[in-house]
Structure 1
Amino acid sequence: MASTAECVVQDVSSVDFHCEKNNPDHRTAEISAKRLIVRRGQPFHITVQFKRNQYNPDVDRFKLVAQTGPSPSETSGTKIPFSLSDSINKRRWSAVAACSSRSRLSLIIHSAPNAKIGRHTLALQKITSDQTVIYPVGEFVVLFNPWCSEDEVFLNDAGQLNEYVLNEQGIIFTGCSEYIQRLPWNFGQFEEDILDICLKLLDNSPKHLKNPAKDCTRRGSPVYICRTVSAMVNCNDDNGILFGKWDAPYTDGVYPGKWSGSVAILRQWNNSGCQPVCYGQCWVFAAVACTVLRCLGIPTRVVTNFESAHDTNGNLIIESEYDEKGLELGRSGDSIWNFHVWVESWMARYDLRPGNDGWQALDPTPQEKSEGVYCCGPAPVKAIKEGETDICYDVPFIFAEVNADCVTSIYSEKGKKMKVHTDTRHVGQRISTKCVGSDDREDITNNYKYPEGSEEERRIFELADKRRVPLKPEKRLQLHLMTNDLIYNGTNVKVSAVISNKNSMKRVYTLKINAMKKKYSRSSRGKCIKMYQQEITVAPSEDKTVEVELSYTEYGEFLDKYNLIRLTALAIDGETNESVFTLKDISLINPNITIQVRGAPVLSQEVMTGISFENILPVALTNCVFTLEGAGLIDGQMEIRFGTLNPGEAITKEVSFIPKKMGLKKLTVDFDSDCLKDVKGYINIDIQEEKK
């Protein structure tokens, strides 16, 4: 039998996608009220109005065809024909006629719970004896659906869904393990243009550019999408979003600490023709990835690992080498970041053996290549905890980030190497994420590893082919570093070194204390702030304390956004050459930004806000500026410049804005000056409905 000819006609007068009803039902109204955006595995309504009496419900039989990608085909699952039926089939694309007439057809359409995400076109097909008449209907967007029990990203917790999918604001934890700081961040995943930018990101991936049809066939898998996003948020292999840089100067871009949200970054990438945005560091990479994945419908949260290891050779050992002065030699490729930030996304792992569903670690910061590309994950957090290093993707690398051992060696002037310190507990501390429903910190360390020193932890180390370090006898020479608990930027840092002589005879020790500039991600080599050396006689079984002060005049010029200083102490026994080494990282506290909202904030009405700041530094701050940002509150960024603030001087600026969205929003404020930059403040503002 000869096949019927196809005929495309434009006899559809109008199509009502009922966005005012469908989008709220699919929790996409915050993205747009003007175009249809649906979550897969959930029904939506459309109404087709024909120009003439085209439809006879008693005779005509329509099919619908949903298509996605540049070369849709039925075999690849990117072209899906489905007939009208008597009832909805929730496991595949299906449709029923809600009502119909000679000129109008109302449909309830249900997409498959494993549908490809992205832009789709919809058409009606009417098959007659001699031809197939095709009526183009229009375009809509399909997203993942964590509210659908058949979707791989299903998350059965309303509070977590509100936090990890719908919340446009968040907190990223930074600093160091002993003083954790909170960085407010506007994810802004529901700003109207962000969805298009996220889809553009997928279309610019190397896999899509090489074979668009094959790439689109894989877009039903959250594992595939997460891996693509992890690679595309950095620009190392592709037309990705962010260029990473960890050293000054940043004059040809934006210092990473300046960013307060993802929207400006994504828009800059989009408006520049997909040129990389300068610059990012780990928390920026992670936050942008979180925005993209939440926008696409995958539950995602930002995670911070304090004392995070970067194991370059895969031996699960982080080796640090110092000279006899206590200064780092910088010869090891390994490092320990004061903190490192990645994201976790929630999904089932049908590609792995059972037991690996749930949170998956993803790291878009370019560190090491995975399958030839700078990306990392998704790695099941359960597999990381159990040391299952045969599980993909990149479980061994993340296992080392939270569990590697630290070995410190001192090299003498003659090149002799002395191993002076082994620490099996230093790496992977206070792993943190934002609590559901509040800005508090949730400690999720136990998700990644068993308690340090437990039998189960030792078993897991062996399972991961980790070397067991034998216990060593107590050293006769011991050394500890202490500082005051809270150290404010601008004040003197008081350092106490306690030397303990466990010998039965007095000893003369050479004590060397160094203060060095510390980057959150790397060593402090070459940035010495102050050196101190003294010979000390310590009686048997005596503890002797040596105090050293570090003034703002000495450290002020070395500070950056995180105000990190590394203190090292080295003590050497002049008679036996026994030595002991210790270090301590400190983070100085910046002055606070105080934000107060005047009155009750109402949608579409002017909101007055007071922003206050006091200069607690002993120097004048010049070229001062506040930068305000807030999804749903301010379009883009708002700058307020106010000249110079003398030591001890305070200022309050009154600002106003008109909120465009209801609900709980986060207003972030960034303070900058010539010598104090990237001070952050924020306030949560509950925007109420406009009174009529």
Structure 2
Amino acid sequence: MTEALDISMCDWELKNNNEEHHTDLNGVDRLIIRRGQPFTLILHLKSGTFQRGITTFCLIAETGPDPSEECGTRATFSLTDTIDKKDWSASVSSSYGKTVSLLICPSPKAPIGCYSLTLDQGNRQRLGEFVLLFNPWCKRDTVYMEDEEMRKEYVLSQDGLIYRGTAAHFSVLPWNFGQFESGILDICLRVLDENPKHVKNPGKDCSGRRNPVYVTRVLSAMINCADDRGVLAGNWTGNYTNGTPPSKWSSSVEILQQWKDSLCSPVCFGQCWVFAAVACTVSRALGIPCRVVTNFSSAHDTNKNLLIEFFYTVEGKDVSDDSIWNFHVWVESWMARPDLKPGFDGWQVNDPTPQEKSEGVYCCGPVPVQAIKEGELTFKYDAPFIFAEVNADVVRYIKLSGNRTIQIGGSETRVGQCISTKCVGEDKREDITHLYKYPEGSEKEREVFEKANHHNKLKERGQEPGLNVQIKVSEDMKRGNDFPVFAVVTNNTQSAKTCRLMYYAQGISYNGKLGGTCGLEEIPDLQLSPGEEKRSSLTLSYCNYKSVITQDAMIRLMALLIDSETKEFFRETRTIVLENPEIIITILGEPKENCKVLAEISLKNPLPEPLENCTFSVEGANLTGGKTITKMTGSLGPRETATVEICFTPTYVGVRKLVVDFSSDKLINIKGYKNVVVDK
């Protein structure tokens, strides 16, 4: 019988291991490793000597409150000559005197989470703890991503850009994901532990954490608080008295920290881009490649018939159940799908915004992007809902007396436009619409609709014979200015026409909810000769629109044209986004690691009235220490410029985003950012 090793100390080689496993940005105060990749452990002995081929012991790795071999939450493995990267394994890489260097490899299929490691020589000695994450660098891991630049963007990048606005006018929101900021990984693991499945059956839940499909579905439910102790409470009312307006946020870090500090009470408030950004942070922290995606003109099909039906009164009031959001934001997560037939690995849609229940819970996905493109609506999870968001057809009706309706003409509204995400390695927009759908009107698109049992595809409508109404806008639509918009009516017939034209403007939220009216023009007796075109102008003045626009700074224009003789209706809508002022950021000097640097930040008040309670808020991953730096400037007169200087200390070399928010009583949540190149 060999002499047992008497271990005095265990050296986890924290710096080297964490760097090798791409987790060093989390810090080097504990071991954080990835599945399927070996790490080094050095045992320092008080007594005894390791003798190769003679000395034997087992290692036991355990996770969860009730670990078991059956659930895969406990692994017991002995020393072998070489490590086996397909399973838990260990070998001695070297031994000299009173030190033994072990090479240990976790299984590429092991559940992620917090582990303990125990050495068993007949009597057990606990060596310590480590955190195990998914591994996009390991070919045997189901989240493996081959391209290194994509891994840098979708796993390691701590900041990004989120696209909002409309398909005709993008606006860019810089976001601090901050997945490597101090304490964030622990909070992300806490999110998993707070989910109802874990509370009900922790052993089964921890076992499920080997599968990124399971984990992303849990996150889809836990980022919102509709059914559980989730992270964010949604609010689309416009009243944010008891919390933070969704448009105020520009970082997941503050949200997750607030959730933890409040003992897992939901943070108030979020909307779709906030839910998606937080989901992206948690996914990247756990090792799942993830990106934020925006779908412009996103359909919400309430009756699941893949058709968006709008109903209006004769005055043009919208009385519909279905809706089209000006934009909707979700996330895509990268993984293999061995549970599906071949061809559906890669990007998977999951949507943490609570819209409809899935299997009794407010969550959505994951479903392969390729399944949406191919119309495979039987695939898990929630394929019909996502398919409708990017493909549903749109029809419009006028409600008449006696419950009668008539379908109205006008240009077709297309859903699923300009589907967008940030480019890899660049601050540019990448259009990924082609990943979700075949070109409009193509033969392949028609095949997909037939497969999806969808036969309502409307013919693309341009200018057709008959009456036509279009909306034209000016190029200068800056917030604070007055500007004209136009309804252009054309008579494409061979006879004179008498029409009624109603043209008006309303505030609108990004999710399609209409607000108050800020402009109205009506011509009850519009005379049009054959082939004639007439233009009606409507001036949108700041004094009228300032009280009806929401945090989204959007105005919905609508023109309704009625043929007085035939009673035919023609309708055109357009959503415009007011241009906010630019935040100018200047970095003074050369940013160096662990050295203070100064930034000058300024903004010009575009409004014809003063601003009160002006505040600049600044943050950035590895720039501001996981905190928000705030500077208040008080009042700012009409057309005047406010300037502040902010000091921060970069802690890591590389390119980092400094994200700035400006808020006041009348102008809120204006965003800007600057890429900061930090040298040694």
TM value normalised by structure 2:
0.97
Task: Determine whether 1:266 maps to 2:256.
Answer: yes
Contact 1:560 1:677 in 2 (8 A): no
Q: How many residues were matched structurally?
A: 674
Task: Determine whether 1:343 maps to 2:331.
Answer: yes
In structure 2, distance between residues paired with 1:248 and 1:371? 30
Q: Which moved more, 1:46-55 or 1:573-582?
A: 46-55
In structure 2, distance between residues paired with 1:458 and 1:469? 8
**Match 1:666 to one of 641, 652, 657:** 657
1:680 match: secondary structure:
strand
1:11 Cα offset (Å): 5.3
Q: Which moved more, 1:356-365 or 1:103-112?
A: 103-112
Task: Determine whether 1:60 maps to 2:55.
Answer: yes
1:340 match: secondary structure:
strand
Q: Which residue of 2 aligns with 1:229?
A: 219
Contact 1:326 1:514 in 2 (8 A): no
In structure 1, distance between residues paired with 2:413 and 2:6? 71
Cα distance change, pair 452–618 in 1 and its aligned pair in 2 (3 A): same
Cα distance change, pair 594–30 in 1 and its aligned pair in 2 (3 A): same
Counterpart residue type for residue 518 of structure 2: I
1:615 Cα offset (Å): 0.9
Task: Determine whether 1:632 maps to 2:627.
Answer: no
Contact 1:169 1:188 in 2 (8 A): yes
1:624 match: secondary structure:
strand
Q: Which moved more, 1:144-153 or 1:496-505?
A: 496-505
Q: Which residue of 1 aligns with 2:640?
A: 649
Contact 1:490 1:617 in 2 (8 A): yes
Q: Which residue of 1 aligns with 2:583?
A: 593
**Match 1:680 to one of 658, 667, 671:** 671
**Match 1:437 to one of 419, 425, 438:** 425
2:120 match: secondary structure:
strand
**Match 1:98 to one of 81, 93, 100:** 93
Contact 1:425 1:452 in 2 (8 A): no
1:197 match: secondary structure:
helix
Q: Which residue of 2 aligns with 1:69?
A: 64
Cα distance change, pair 399–303 in 1 and its aligned pair in 2 (3 A): same
In structure 2, distance between residues paired with 1:248 and 1:573? 38
| CA offsets 1:391-414 (integer angstroms, 9 cap, x no match) | 111111100000001111112366
Task: Determine whether 1:510 maps to 2:500.
Answer: yes
Q: Which residue of 1 aligns with 2:529?
A: 539
1:422 Cα offset (Å): 7.1
Contact 1:404 1:424 in 2 (8 A): no
Cα distance change, pair 486–161 in 1 and its aligned pair in 2 (3 A): farther
Q: Which residue of 2 aligns with 1:457?
A: 445
- Structure-to-structure mapping, 1:288-367, within 5 angstroms: 288-329=278-319, 332-367=320-355
Contact 2:609 2:638 in 1 (8 A): yes
Q: Which residue of 1 aligns with 2:41?
A: 46
Contact 2:519 2:538 in 1 (8 A): no
- Structure-to-structure mapping, 1:196-207, within 5 angstroms: 196-207=186-197
Q: CA RMSD in A?
A: 1.7
Contact 1:56 1:101 in 2 (8 A): no
Counterpart residue type for residue 467 of structure 1: H
Counterpart residue type for residue 391 of structure 2: N
1:468 Cα offset (Å): 3.1
**Match 1:15 to one of 4, 7, 10:** 10
Contact 2:410 2:572 in 1 (8 A): no
- Structure-to-structure mapping, 1:102-113, within 5 angstroms: 103-113=98-108
Contact 1:230 1:289 in 2 (8 A): yes
- Large movers: runs of 4+ above 4 Å: 54-58, 422-425, 469-473
In structure 2, distance between residues paired with 1:613 and 1:659? 24
| CA offsets 1:338-375 (integer angstroms, 9 cap, x no match) | 00000001110001011100100010000011111111
**Match 1:180 to one of 153, 170, 176:** 170
1:527 Cα offset (Å): 2.1
1:54 Cα offset (Å): 6.9
1:557 Cα offset (Å): 1.4
1:113 match: secondary structure:
coil
Contact 2:517 2:548 in 1 (8 A): no
1:646 Cα offset (Å): 1.1
Counterpart residue type for residue 633 of structure 1: L
In structure 2, distance between residues paired with 1:118 and 1:267? 19
- Structure-to-structure mapping, 1:157-168, within 5 angstroms: 157-168=147-158
1:613 Cα offset (Å): 0.7
In structure 2, distance between residues paired with 1:243 and 1:322? 31
Contact 2:393 2:458 in 1 (8 A): no
In structure 1, distance between residues paired with 2:231 and 2:391? 30
Task: Determine whether 1:494 maps to 2:484.
Answer: yes
Q: Which moved more, 1:456-465 or 1:395-404?
A: 456-465
**Match 2:198 to one of 187, 203, 208:** 208
Contact 2:410 2:570 in 1 (8 A): no
| CA offsets 1:246-285 (integer angstroms, 9 cap, x no match) | 0121010000000010000000001110000000000000
**Match 2:404 to one of 409, 413, 416:** 416
Contact 2:409 2:569 in 1 (8 A): no
Contact 1:381 1:447 in 2 (8 A): yes
Task: Determine whether 1:281 maps to 2:274.
Answer: no
Counterpart residue type for residue 516 of structure 2: K
- Structure-to-structure mapping, 1:127-138, within 5 angstroms: 132-138=122-128
Q: Which moved more, 1:94-103 or 1:15-24?
A: 94-103
Counterpart residue type for residue 663 of structure 2: D
1:421 match: secondary structure:
coil
2:584 match: secondary structure:
strand
Counterpart residue type for residue 658 of structure 1: T
Task: Determine whether 1:27 maps to 2:18.
Answer: no
Counterpart residue type for residue 479 of structure 1: V
Counterpart residue type for residue 498 of structure 1: V
Task: Determine whether 1:170 maps to 2:127.
Answer: no
2:618 match: secondary structure:
strand
**Match 1:89 to one of 81, 84, 87:** 84
1:91 match: secondary structure:
coil
Q: Which residue of 1 aligns with 2:120?
A: 125
Contact 2:583 2:601 in 1 (8 A): yes
Task: Name structure 1 gaps, 5 residues minimum.
Answer: 1-8, 127-131
In structure 2, distance between residues paired with 1:421 and 1:274? 50
